[in-house]
Amino acid sequence: MRVLVVGGTGFLGGATARAALANGHDVTVMTRSGKRVADGAATLIADREEPVPDLSGQFDTVIDTCGYAPDMVSQLAKATGPAHYVFVSSISVYDDMSVPQFDEMASAPAATDEDLQLATDVAPELRGTATPYGPSYGRLKRSCEIAAKAAFDGNCTVIRLGLIVGPHDYTDRFTWWVRRCDMGDPIVAPGPKDRPIQIIDVREAAAFLVRMAEARNCDTFNLTGTAFTIETMLDAICAGAKNKTPVIFRPLNVFTQTGLRHWTDLPLIVPDDPKFAQMLNVSVTKAYEAGLETRPLAETIQSVLDWDRQNRDRSLLCGMSPEQEAAVRAIA
């Protein structure tokens, strides 16, 4: 199978290119940067924000890991012509995450005119990353899904991806907890202990994208792992790091009253809002039925731990500083 991976030098895109190569496919990576691609893959230097060369008939499947606005999807469709399209969307498309184990049928509103204007106004060099889209991100992803179904005449797989983790994760959300547990000293974490956490190893996500391309499965899937509790996660990380220091759970408001922010200062911790309460507890039954395979949590932890220990001088992009953590501990 001839596979074009768009965004194939990134975290997920690179893993997807390697997974497709491992399955014996002919892989081309489309990139605007000229970065080194996976060994064995061809490189296509092109910017989806500029006119893309006519690629009609050259690929059987297009796997798009970096589409953030519907016009980006439509332009790519014009260039690649008839092909099966795997579009990486996000669980952020859902507007109500208050119910545990919500599935692919949950409400997912499309972008408003204001959202579309915001996407148009983003500088071209920034359009290939999620950050500039802010609160519009989820609705724009939903409109991308709609555009993909239309542009590829329904010959499209939609993957609503959750949090991907693993070595080389540029967000550091999971890596911060791994590093923190590996450092020893009493660890303070936002309760409750049964707070749901849901992640997927980037290698598992990439393998599923390739599997759906091979099967030409034209359906929509939530893609993440089975949910577990934050206590389970931290116990497993501490076990992998051989850290016997206890984890101290404190109410979330103890953290927020010191000015700490969800998701950034407190990685993996969703806002204390019923609307987002089950964001990391979605149903993945459909993906498992379609062939999703996941590895033990301990294996993912060990791979991140090994990688981070080799890069301990690298500053992380999120998480509490020692001073912030001390301030939380000091609150009675």
DSSP for 109-170, please give it: PPPPHHHHHHHHHS-GGGTTSSGGGGGGHHHHHHHHHHHHHHHTTT-EEEEEE-EEESTT-S
- In contact, 174 and 268? CB cutoff 8 Å: yes
The three-point CA angle 53-113-147 to 5° equals 40
Per-residue pLDDT of the chain (332 residues; tens, 9 = 90+): 999 999 888 899 999 999 999 999 999 999 987 778 889 999 999 888 888 889 999 999 999 999 999 999 999 998 998 899 999 999 999 999 999 999 999 999 999 999 999 999 999 888 888 889 999 999 999 999 999 999 998 899 999 999 999 999 999 999 999 999 999 888 999 999 999 999 999 999 999 999 999 999 999 999 999 999 999 999 999 999 999 888 999 999 999 999 999 999 999 999 888 999 999 999 999 999 999 999 999 999 999 999 999 999 999 999 999 999 999 988 86
**Per-residue pLDDT, 332:** 60
Residue 245 in 3-state DSSP? coil
pLDDT at 21: 98
User: Which residue shows structure tokens 């792992």?
Assistant: 225
Res 33: pLDDT: 79
In eight-state DSSP terms, residue 42 is E
pLDDT given at position 85: 97
Among positive and negative, which fits the CA dihedral 164, 165, 167, 170? positive
Per the confidence metrics, is the pTM higher than 0.85?
yes
What are the CA-CA distances from residue 204 to residues 122, 157, 245 (Å)? 32, 17, 31
Report pLDDT for 19: 98
Instruction: Give all strands (DSSP E) within the chain, no chain letters.
Output: 2-6, 26-31, 42-45, 61-64, 84-90, 156-161, 163-165, 187-190, 196-197, 199-201, 220-223, 228-229, 247-250
Length of the chain: 332
Check the CA dihedral 124-125-126-127 and report its sign: positive
Cα→Cα distances 9→15, 36, 86, Å: 9, 7, 17
Closest to 93 (Cα-Cα) out of 127, 70, 124? 70
